[in-house]
Amino acid sequence: MVEGAPRGTVTLVSAATGAVLRELVGERPGQHFGEVVTGLDDLDGDGIADLAVGAPGNPAGAGGPGRGEVRILSGRTGATLHRLEAAADGELYGRMVATLDDLDGDGLRDLAIGAPWATVDGAPRAGRVEIRSSKSLALLAEIRGPLADAWLGWHITRAAHGLLVSAPRAEHGLGALEMHVLSDRPLGG
Ligand SMILES: [Ca+2]
Ligand SMILES: [Ca+2]
């Protein structure tokens, strides 16, 4: 805990020995750094796998969830390699991150990011999911929730050539799970 709201931490632990290798700490109180984390391939070529960490909370501390972000960190040094930011305040960007197959054919598995409270075409909290190249960060695809208050992108997991996405408030609160097959060929490249 550092001055007020907690910042969150992510701890890298050796799977072989259980030893703590590194502790990563959020930058600002209340941003919920480490709410979700996913392992990526070696993006910077140093021989050690890297990772993506969601921080969907409000860095400004202005009340309510603000402009979340996802940081891509070096697994070796903990340094921030890239930073992806929400398109708008309040969309809970980075509430979910998931590693997908290599969809753009660059040899590195790619990344999905959920923003389940995103407003889509005027529909509040419809939710959206970005599919990005883990290396170039190019937006390969976007899945947009069709209905207000569906919370699409609350949870995401890999499927062959695509992903499974939950929308836990869709269908009048019953919840729904969508499977998206994006391509059996490389996207965007
Ligand atoms: Ca690396
Ligand atoms: Ca890729």
**84-108 pLDDT tens trace:** 999 998 899 999 999 999 999 999 9
The rounded Å distance from CA 57 to ligand 2 centre is: 27
Span from the CA of 67 to the centroid of ligand 1 (angstroms): 27
Question: What residues contact 72, with CB distance under 8 A and at least 6 apart?
Answer: 40, 43, 50, 51, 52, 53, 80, 81, 82, 83, 84, 111, 134
Q: Is the pLDDT of residue 110 over 70?
A: yes
Print the SS3 string covering 64-129. Answer: CCCCCEEEEECCCCCCEEEEEECCCCCCCCCCEEEECCCCCCCCCCCEEEEECCCCECCECCCCEE
Q: What is the mean pLDDT of the chain?
A: 90
CA of 155 to the centre of ligand 1 (A): 26
Q: pLDDT tens digit string along 16-75? A: 898 888 888 888 888 888 889 999 999 999 999 999 999 998 655 555 556 899 999 999
Sign of torsion over alpha carbons 5, 129, 179, 43: negative
> Which ligand has the minimum distance to the alpha carbon of residue 41?
1
Ligand having the closest approach to the CA of 109: 2
CATH of the domain at 91: 2.130.10.130
Q: How far, in Å, is the centroid of ligand 2 from the Cα of 157?
A: 16
Per-residue confidence (pLDDT) for residue 1, from 0 to 100:
37
First-to-last C-alpha distance (Å) of the chain: 44
pLDDT at 53: 96
Q: Name the residue with higher pLDDT: 28 or 79.
A: 79
Inside any domain, residue 186: no
Report the alpha-carbon distance of residue 74 to residue 82 in Å, rounded: 9
- Rounded to the nearest whole angstrom, what is the distance from the C-alpha of residue 86 to the centroid of ligand 2? 21
pLDDT in tens, 120-142: 999 999 999 999 999 999 999 99
Task: Calculate how far, in angstroms, residue 77's C-alpha sits from the geometric centre of ligand 1.
Answer: 9
Ligand closest in space to the Cα of 107: 2
Give the pLDDT score at 15. 86
Does pLDDT of 3 surpass 80? no
| Cα separation values, 137 from 13, 18, 61, 108, 140, Å | 27, 32, 27, 12, 9
Q: Which domain holds residue 141?
A: 9-181
Question: Considering every ligand atom, which ligand is closest to the CA of 79?
Answer: 1
How many structural domains is the chain composed of? 1
pLDDT in the model for residue 14? 86
Instruction: Supply the pLDDT for residue 91.
Output: 93
Residue 47, domain member (yes or no): yes
Using the predicted structure, report yes or no on whether residue 169 has a pLDDT greater than 50: yes
- Report if residue 32 sits inside a domain: yes
Give the ligand with the smallest distance to the CA of 132: 2
CA of 3 to the centre of ligand 1 (A): 32
Domain-located, residue 109: yes
Percent of the chain with pLDDT over 70: 92
pLDDT score at 2? 42
Q: With respect to residue 132, please indicate whether it lies within any of the assigned structural domains.
A: yes
Asked if residue 3 belongs to a domain, the reply is no
What is the whole-number distance in angstroms between the Cα of residue 107 and the centre of ligand 1?
Answer: 14
pLDDT of 74: 95
- Residue 172, classed as helix, strand or coil, is helix
Task: State the ligand closest to the CA atom of 102.
Answer: 2
**Residue 2 lies inside a defined structural domain of this protein:** no
